[in-house]
Structure 1
Amino acid sequence: MYESPPHPRHHPAVPDCEQQPQFTAVPPPAHWRYKPRRAWWRTRAVRAGAVITLLVLCALVILAIVRDQTGTQGFLVGLGLAVLPVPLLAAAFRWLDRVEPEPWRNLAFAFAWGAFAAALVAIIANSFATRWIATATADPAGAESLGATVIAPVVEESAKAAAILLIFLFRRRDFTGIVDGVVVAGFTATGFAFTENILYLGTAFGEDQAAGASGLASVTAATFFVRIVMSPFAHPLFTVLTGIGFGLAALAPQRRPGRWRRIALPLLGLVLAMGVHALWNGSAVFGTYGFYAVYAAFMVPAFALLTWLVIWTRQRELRTIAAELPAYAAAGWLGPAEPFALASMRARSLARDAAARAYGSGTYGNGSGPYGSGPYGISAASGGRAASRAAARAVAEYEVFATSLAFLRHRAHRGAVGADFTAREQELLHHLWQRRDVAGPALEYAARATSRVWAPPPPPWQPRPHPQPSPAPWYGPPPQRPAPHRDHAVHNPYRQQR
């Protein structure tokens, strides 16, 4: 016989869902009882391990092939000579990317893909295609010429473009414009040229060893002059055209017309890269001086034009920062002078140096320091190298986050962002708010020191202070400004909606 329980069950009330609910009782992630689960092959560590393993295997195979073709001595000589232009090219592309630096993991992947994966695909596909054409036509010389002018440009540029495509698809937030496409393409092509130069220089050294030649009259010296001195930018120039196509595709809006641009522009850039590469490889067909004619009449002007385009694009990015950030300054997120300092590379560098000097000397404010007990561990009272580096790093991170915020807002105006715009904006504002006590005064000082903003001179009846033997710090403790959600009514995603 069923008996009712002696005590009735009490069901807990369901909390009301507010417009902006506050999850104050949620434990930290380390103590979560309910965690999102995903398949093991979808974890970041497994994917990163698979990519690294693939690149390492490609490196072992391609280096073994190159060593087999050049010999041990030729491989070592080619390696020593081929590495010379790599730091210069990497520094040049990194300089172009100073406004919103590309993460090093993306650049390292691009270089490794070009040096190992793309080079392996190119050497295998080119050899197979050339042998097949020679067998089919019974004309080995014609097959070599056709392989160099037609097959090699198609295969090599397609293999290098794969790295740009992968970063464009899987690191989309880091790929935002033309400069990003140029930098990724430049690092990929630099890696590819590095491996190719090892092969060419090592083979030339082997020929000199067999013929007993040495000095300036050797094949090695001629190959070094042509590939390292005259045309170290050849492969980057070709692949940069593909990168520009992907960069323009990144600027396309999310609406339906933009979808065709995201497909057509990268393909157009790839076709142009193949065409320029074919012209360069086929320059020897135009006679004894064909190479020099193509070099002077086409390659140098094209290189100068692309350099101007990239520098102009970088200046345009700085103008975008100056146009978009004042809205956040009006809302109280940034200081009035900060957008002007962030739009100047010289002011940015000066702000980092000034913050490092102020915190490194231990003379900031009263010694408490805005980050004394914060997550960055900057203690102005102690000073020293650790505090100096932490302050400079905080300012550098502030500059990067502010730049990303300006570009995010610019893309939102153009309709090139998705529905997560508000969440991404709040995340960037959160990072800025954490670092503003260190970066704000430094950028304010840099804006005035570089004349980005006008500082009124002292009245004529007040004498100018004489320089002191031990000058005081260039800025004092930051003013205690109220939190933005309390008194700012303009463009404030943290405001409670009523």
Structure 2
Amino acid sequence: MFRAPLRVLARPSGPVRTYALVVLLASSGVAILELVRQQTGTPGFLVGLGLALLPVAPLMAAFRWVGRAAPHPWAQLLFCFGWGACAAALIAILANDFATRWIAAATADPADADQLGSVAIAPVVEESAKAAALLLVFAFRRRQFTGPADGFVVAGFTAVGFAFTENVLYLGNAFDEDLAEGTRPLDSLTAATFFVRAVLSPFAHPLFTVLTGLGVGAAALGARRSHRICLPALGLAAAMGLHALWNGSSRFGEHGFYVVYASVMVPVFGVLVGLAVRIRRRRLRAVAGELAVYAAAGWLGPAEVPALASMPARSLARALARRSGGRAAGRAVRRYQADAAALALLRHRARRGGPAREPDFAGLERELLHRLWLRRATAGPVLARAAVMEELLPPWYDPLARPPLPAPRALVPGPRTHSLRPRGRAAQRAGAR
């Protein structure tokens, strides 16, 4: 009964859904900024805002790099950043303040209330608030959730936004104290806070939330309902546990912070960096393997497949297109690359028997193939040329050659096998064989 309205709201162009999200993030953003300004004062707020912006761009670039094989739309990533910076931060600051006041009223020592709140309450509230962004993207953009890499990227952008707002608060308070005491800049609490939060551990919040993202991403590949429920819950529990350990590190003695940092945070960070590199490589291999089937069926040129599976070749192809056809050609090639990657991962997920194997799979595949075919005249030659220039093909390969295409084959094996045939000249050549 309610499925039709929900589908309308889930569409990217749905004005109701877009308006609701904009209003939600804007109102929560105004509220959280005013709360932070009240706590830090206007000078502290402005200084904290400027300093908190410094680590944002490098962190966003790092998470964007992980997802470059099949990039998410910038609008979706900015929504995740905005959710973390506005909605999640507002929920966290209100809930943490309420919980701390309640614990302080129930205990005799306010210091114990602060410590208990930071270890037992803050990790649960903050990680749950950030996880809401992942669940929203997973619910309304499930077709773009093709594996752990998507969870990695979405979680990273959400956590970077949350850390940004939190850094504004901490840095603003530190500057307000320094201003009241007249401390010199290099010896100030502001400099120490900036070093700890923006230099020593800018990856802390992303590190926690990425664990939730990996659970949600793994759930996207799960064929069983239990997997789709348990894996995100397991990832969220791991994020809360690591967050609690980090917040409680100061209770392990005078050097507890450095012990936890060196023995837990840095190793986990290294493992996740290695995992990110491996996920990216596996995704590019999946793109190459699945697109080879479409190339054999005539939808892609043979030289396009290695170029689409190489990030340097993709960048070079876009540059060549802009050089020859301007920005419009560059945009066409970028969309062609994104659609090709989405098509490959859609088929890869369906072939593995995941939830993408649904009644509208054939329609999604047909839509992506049609969009590829419309831009192939622009993207195909520059991709082939980029493959040759990057030495992904033999040097004697002629990127302008157009050999006869083979006859179309079935694209997805299994009970719903179907055959999509190329149109235009490719269809005429295939029919003449």
**TM above 0.5, one fold?**
yes
Contact kept in structure 2, 1:103 and 1:174, CA below 8 Å: no
Range moving further from structure 2, 226-235 or 332-341:
332-341
Alignment of 1:80-119 (within 5 A): 80-119=50-89
| Structure 1 counterpart of 2:306 | 340
Which one of 238, 246, 249 corresponds to residue 272 of structure 1?
238
1:121-153 deviation line (CA, Å, top 9, x unaligned): 111111111111111122211111100111111
| Structure 2 counterpart of 1:437 | 377
Q: Secondary structure at the match of 2:64?
A: helix
Decide whether aligned partners of structure 1 residues 215 and 489 sit closer, same or farther in structure 2, where only a CA change above 3 A counts: closer
Distance 1:336 1:490 in 2: 18
2:101 aligned with 1:131 = yes
| Structure 1 counterpart of 2:268 | 302
Residue 78 of structure 1, CA deviation: 0.7
Distance 1:153 1:233 in 2: 16
| Structure 2 counterpart of 1:330 | 296
1:332-386 deviation line (CA, Å, top 9, x unaligned): 11111221111111111122222222x2xxxxxxxxxxxxxxxxxxxxxxxxxxx
| Structure 2 counterpart of 1:415 | 353
Contact kept in structure 2, 1:245 and 1:268, CA below 8 Å: yes
Contact kept in structure 1, 2:152 and 2:217, CA below 8 Å: yes
1:207 corresponds to which letter in structure 2? E
1:222 corresponds to which letter in structure 2? A
1:414 corresponds to which letter in structure 2? R
1:338 corresponds to which letter in structure 2? E
Alignment of 1:13-92 (within 5 A): 44-92=14-62
Q: Secondary structure at the match of 2:248?
A: helix
Decide whether aligned partners of structure 1 residues 144 and 489 sit closer, same or farther in structure 2, where only a CA change above 3 A counts: closer
Contact kept in structure 2, 1:441 and 1:475, CA below 8 Å: yes
Which one of 159, 180, 188 corresponds to residue 189 of structure 1?
159
Higher helix share: 2
TM-score (normalised: structure 2): 0.90
Contact kept in structure 1, 2:297 and 2:421, CA below 8 Å: no
If asked which structure has higher relative contact order (CA below 8 Å, sep 6+), I would say 2
| Structure 1 counterpart of 2:416 | none
Which one of 311, 319, 332 corresponds to residue 394 of structure 1?
332
Q: Secondary structure at the match of 2:101?
A: helix
2:283 aligned with 1:283 = no
Distance 1:113 1:240 in 2: 15
Distance 1:162 1:196 in 2: 18
Which one of 218, 225, 241 corresponds to residue 211 of structure 2?
241
CA RMSD of aligned residues (A): 2.2
Alignment of 1:342-491 (within 5 A): 342-357=308-323, 359=324, 387-416=325-354, 417=356, 418-456=358-396, 479=402, 488-489=408-409, 491=411
Residue 110 of structure 1, CA deviation: 0.7
2:251 corresponds to which letter in structure 1? V
| Structure 1 counterpart of 2:126 | 156
Alignment of 1:248-267 (within 5 A): 248-253=218-223, 258-267=224-233
Residue 489 of structure 1, CA deviation: 5.0
Which structure 2 residue ranges, 5 or more long, are not aligned? 412-418, 424-433
Decide whether aligned partners of structure 1 residues 61 and 490 sit closer, same or farther in structure 2, where only a CA change above 3 A counts: closer
Contact kept in structure 2, 1:330 and 1:490, CA below 8 Å: no
Distance 1:106 1:495 in 2: 32
User: Which has the larger Rg?
Assistant: 1
Q: Secondary structure at the match of 1:452?
A: coil
2:90 aligned with 1:120 = yes
Range moving further from structure 2, 325-334 or 271-280:
325-334
Distance 2:26 2:331 in 1: 32
Q: Secondary structure at the match of 1:325?
A: helix
Residue 310 of structure 1, CA deviation: 1.0
Decide whether aligned partners of structure 1 residues 87 and 205 sit closer, same or farther in structure 2, where only a CA change above 3 A counts: same
Distance 1:435 1:231 in 2: 44
1:37-77 deviation line (CA, Å, top 9, x unaligned): 979x9592122111111111111111111111111111111
2:244 corresponds to which letter in structure 1? A
Residue 106 of structure 1, CA deviation: 1.1
Distance 2:184 2:221 in 1: 52
Residue 321 of structure 1, CA deviation: 1.2
Decide whether aligned partners of structure 1 residues 402 and 159 sit closer, same or farther in structure 2, where only a CA change above 3 A counts: same
1:92-120 deviation line (CA, Å, top 9, x unaligned): 11111111111111111111111111111
Contact kept in structure 2, 1:190 and 1:236, CA below 8 Å: yes
Residue 494 of structure 1, CA deviation: 3.9
Distance 1:239 1:211 in 2: 36
Distance 1:38 1:285 in 2: 51
Residue 401 of structure 1, CA deviation: 1.0
Contact kept in structure 2, 1:422 and 1:493, CA below 8 Å: no
Decide whether aligned partners of structure 1 residues 133 and 171 sit closer, same or farther in structure 2, where only a CA change above 3 A counts: same
Q: Secondary structure at the match of 2:146?
A: coil
Distance 1:117 1:184 in 2: 15
> What percentage of residue pairs aligned between the two structures are identical?
59
Q: Secondary structure at the match of 1:215?
A: coil
Residue 481 of structure 1, CA deviation: 7.0
Residue 186 of structure 1, CA deviation: 0.7
1:439 corresponds to which letter in structure 2? A
Residue 479 of structure 1, CA deviation: 4.7
1:227-254 deviation line (CA, Å, top 9, x unaligned): 111111110001000000001011112x
Residue 480 of structure 1, CA deviation: 9.6
Contact kept in structure 1, 2:408 and 2:420, CA below 8 Å: no
2:137 aligned with 1:167 = yes
| Structure 1 counterpart of 2:414 | none
Q: Which runs of 4+ in 1 moved over 3 A?
A: 478-482, 487-492
Distance 1:351 1:424 in 2: 26
2:112 aligned with 1:146 = no
Distance 2:31 2:253 in 1: 37
Contact kept in structure 1, 2:160 and 2:205, CA below 8 Å: yes
